[in-house]
């Protein structure tokens, strides 16, 4: 007969066996996944974006594994790429600005080197008059402990006829090169037909990823369109503040640099991290925001995109720095909509405008692009709708209306909201 000691031993062995059986597949999966992930090579994709005039000027960006001198052929017919531009030097990070383009025109391009086609793509320039258009919104595609659903969202976007997709920050998590390769590999699915409007997140900032004493700033090498001109406004001003603006039909778009304003830092005065604060609220950035909005008052709609939400139901809650220092400017100049990531959920809310009564600001959080989802959402008084889980948001703009729709990845409508123009 088995004594108590032997029986306890058997129970322990059985438990250990079951734990090992349960953990093994997960361990195997993550070893394989992480191994493949850190070896992701540079994908042969290109992206289209612009500085401030997408009616007449766009740039094509791409990267090569080695230093290459490339040629871009482009034209308005897929079979007649009669404009040819060749780079002056060999590069790994490539930007080719195409100028003197016609508005509302579809262009096709091909990138070549060493007598081979590297990649091809197409884009349409902005219209010169108010005409209806659609655009996609997503954020926080960073992958942390698993593949997430970035590829799934990218597959859906690939079927869309958007004028562009705005990616509202946190392309990557730890800023390693392989993560950027992974981002472009997955998002590359739609980048051959849809331009990209980049917004910088806190996880996209420069970092010394290889511990050689110098920070790598991959975001800036991929996306060169920041108009930040003034350096060293304070000791935290690294001159990497990424902001610019452009017009597309009836909407003026502003891309701002508020990647993160940490208000939970117990070690710092008022809990505010001075680096986050002083990098974002530089005098030149704030002056540019006001001037840019003042010049855009005749547009039916003004949309400002920046990573850190002003308030919301997510982990970060309300941000009193953004509420006190930025929001009055947005209200003063009648910004219609702000769009954010950072918090990993979807949310729509209203920020009442007490300066211009009736011109309330609608905010969206679209941080559901593929990373971990928030749990335990706590709606704030401004919250109208909030939900965690995979989703994507699209907008349709006319001269009179701006309509936002958010869907699950299986196509079920989560939220739809129409804003009418105040310009009559």
Report the site for Fe ion in 98-157 (rule: CB under 5 A).
Answer: none
Segment interacting with Fe ion (CB under 5 A) among 22-30, 200-208, 212-220, 356-364: 200-208
Closest separation in Å from C-beta 331 to Fe ion: 24
- Would you say 124 or 344 has its CB closer to Fe ion? 344
In 3D space, the residue among 61, 42, 41, 43 whose CA is nearest the CA of residue 51 turns out to be 61
Q: Does position 205 bind Fe ion by CB under 5 A?
A: no
Q: Does position 202 bind Fe ion by CB under 5 A?
A: yes
Closest separation in Å from C-beta 7 to Fe ion: 53
- Would you say 172 or 419 has its CB closer to Fe ion? 172
- Would you say 85 or 318 has its CB closer to Fe ion? 318
Please report where in the chains the tokens 């060999």 appear, as a residue.
Answer: 90
Q: Does position 342 bind Fe ion by CB under 5 A?
A: yes
Helix-, strand-, coil-residue percentages of the chain, each rounded to 5? 25, 30, 45
Size of the site for Fe ion (CB under 5 A): 4
Burial class (CB in 10 A: 0-12, 13-18, 19+), 138: buried
Q: Does position 175 bind Fe ion by CB under 5 A?
A: no
DSSP per-residue string spanning 259-289 = S------TTSGGG--HHHHHHHS-HHHHHHH
Burial class (CB in 10 A: 0-12, 13-18, 19+), 308: buried
Which one among 170, 179, 237, 276 touches Fe ion, defined by CB under 5 A?
170
Q: Does position 374 bind Fe ion by CB under 5 A?
A: no
Q: Which residue is nearest to Fe ion (CB)?
A: 342
Q: Are 345 and 386 in contact (CB under 8 A)?
A: yes
Q: Does position 173 bind Fe ion by CB under 5 A?
A: no
Q: Does position 201 bind Fe ion by CB under 5 A?
A: yes
- Would you say 121 or 201 has its CB closer to Fe ion? 201
CA angle 286, 422, 51 (to 5 degrees): 45
Segment interacting with Fe ion (CB under 5 A) among 163-171, 174-182, 191-199, 269-277: 163-171
Report the alpha-carbon distance of residue 192 to residue 398 in Å, rounded: 25
Q: Which tokens is 72 given?
A: 């871009």
Phi (first) and psi of residue 234, to 5 degrees? -155, 180
- Would you say 170 or 276 has its CB closer to Fe ion? 170
Q: Are 186 and 149 in contact (CB under 8 A)?
A: no
Closest separation in Å from C-beta 139 to Fe ion: 8
Q: Does position 276 bind Fe ion by CB under 5 A?
A: no
**Site residues, Fe ion (CB under 5 A):** 170, 201-202, 342
């Amino acid at each position: 007969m088995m004594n108590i000691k032997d029986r306890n031993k058997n129970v322990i062995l059985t438990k250990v066996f079951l734990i090992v059986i349960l953990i093994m597949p997960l361990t195997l999966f993550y070893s394989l996944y992480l191994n493949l992930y850190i070896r992701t090579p540079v994908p042969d994709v290109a992206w289209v974006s612009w500085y401030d005039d997408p009616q007449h000027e766009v740039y094509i960006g791409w990267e090569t594994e080695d230093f290459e001198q490339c040629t871009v052929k482009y034209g308005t017919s897929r079979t007649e790429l009669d404009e040819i531009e060749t780079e002056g030097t060999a590069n790994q990070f490539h930007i080719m600005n195409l100028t003197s383009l016609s508005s509302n025109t579809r262009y096709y391009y091909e990138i070549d080197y060493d007598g081979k086609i590297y990649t091809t793509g197409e884009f349409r320039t902005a219209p010169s008059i108010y005409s209806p258009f659609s655009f996609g919104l997503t954020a926080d595609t960073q992958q942390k402990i698993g593949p997430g659903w970035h590829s799934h969202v990218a597959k859906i976007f690939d079927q869309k006829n958007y004028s562009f997709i705005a990616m509202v920050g946190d392309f990557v998590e730890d800023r390693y090169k392989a993560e950027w390769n992974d981002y472009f590999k997955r998002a590359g699915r739609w980048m051959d037909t849809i331009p990209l409007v980049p917004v910088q997140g806190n996880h996209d900032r420069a970092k010394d990823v290889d511990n050689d004493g110098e920070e790598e700033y991959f975001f800036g090498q991929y996306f060169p369109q920041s108009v930040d001109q003034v350096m060293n406004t304070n000791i935290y001003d690294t001159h990497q503040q990424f902001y610019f603006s452009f017009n597309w039909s009836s909407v003026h778009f502003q891309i701002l640099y508020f990647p993160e304003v940490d208000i939970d830092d117990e070690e710092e005065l008022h809990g505010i991290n001075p680096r986050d604060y002083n990098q974002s609220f530089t005098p030149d950035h704030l002056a540019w925001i006001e001037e840019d909005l003042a010049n855009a008052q005749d547009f039916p709609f003004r949309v400002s995109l920046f990573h850190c939400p002003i308030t919301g139901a997510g982990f970060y809650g309300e941000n009193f720095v953004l509420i006190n220092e930025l929001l009055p400017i947005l209200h003063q100049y009648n910004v219609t909509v702000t769009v954010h990531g950072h918090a990993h959920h979807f949310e729509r809310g209203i920020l009442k405008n007490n300066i211009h009564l009736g011109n309330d600001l609608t905010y969206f959080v679209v941080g559901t692009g593929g990373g971990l989802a928030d749990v335990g959402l706590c709606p704030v008084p401004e919250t109208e709708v909030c939900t965690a889980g995979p989703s994507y948001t699209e907008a349709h703009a006319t001269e009179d209306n701006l309509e936002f729709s958010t869907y699950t990845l299986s196509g079920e409508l989560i939220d739809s909201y129409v804003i009418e123009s105040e310009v009559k």
